[in-house]
Structure 1
């Protein structure tokens, strides 16, 4: 078994744990390539030259590019890993602006603060991907503040 095969198996395992069983194989198909850190750890996973995900240094979990988020979005059942925002907030969120608590219509109750989430509108159209800042219970209890730090929106030009 060569290093790339080993790396592919490892990143798929992490993706299965983070996003759900079977996601890893779809998110990182055969032929995926890796950008490594100086210490030879996986930094980014690419497919056809496009970044799909980046490994966070602090915990090894993945942050998704919009391409990676759309793959996960297609594979997961509706409402899973999702923060659903109102129609009035949708144009701002898809441009990469923060999703605020007052605009959250619904949220997957199994999410935890710090997790990578998919932000959708009420018709389940993918708007963005980002990091959940508070727990679902806190988001539903509070009236103001940021809910999701948007990493990249479908209509934004560059990623954070």
Structure 2
């Protein structure tokens, strides 16, 4: 599937907002300087706003920070890594794919982001319950360690979450536990007593002081 076909396969109500951006993403390789990301930064912030809501662009990619941008063979950004991760603790090691803890996002061929733990930390600054799935004490240590999140343990969820969305899994005290892909809609997470709610990609690791 081509980039253009992927964009057209998205929710028709949202295609118009994304499609000009999707076409531009293929050629984002200007070597300019605007917040350490150049033209890439402006476009990446627009994707973040589309996917995660108002304020997500500035939260993920502040203009006063530096970034490492990994690119595909065509020059298109494929991954953005923070030079100075906001790790919860110098001794805290995320589980899963993000052993270094600095990955903000990976950009898929469909123009959407998959989150790293560092990206999750930054999105957790947005107003509750944006992009969040909330669990309690029973799940907390397992999800931190990278285990999937099951519907029976979900106590709250952003009502806008749909199956396939990138989400944050948080404790009811607000602390980030993991990032991953929703396997159910928000309503289904709260209604079902069985089944996977979130396929966790990366757990946040142990909290400060542990």
TM-score, normalised to structure 2, is 0.68
What does 1:134-149 correspond to in 2, within 5 Å?
134-149=184-199
The answer for the alignment partner of 1:67 in structure 2 is 118
CA distance in 1, matches of 2:200, 2:172: 17
Shift of 1:11: 0.6
The answer for the alignment partner of 1:24 in structure 2 is 57
Structure 1: runs of 5+ lacking an equivalent: none
CA distance in 2, matches of 1:87, 1:150: 17
CA distance in 1, matches of 2:170, 2:59: 21
CA distance in 2, matches of 1:26, 1:87: 28
1:37 paired to 2:87: no
CA distance in 2, matches of 1:21, 1:108: 14
Asked whether the equivalents of residues 8 and 32 of structure 1 are also in contact (C-alpha less than 8 Å), the reply is no
Q: Secondary structure at the match of 1:151?
A: strand
The answer for the alignment partner of 1:53 in structure 2 is 105
Query: Quick check: which one's strand share is greater?
Result: 1
Q: Secondary structure at the match of 1:3?
A: coil
The answer for the alignment partner of 1:15 in structure 2 is 48
Alpha-carbon RMSD: 1.7
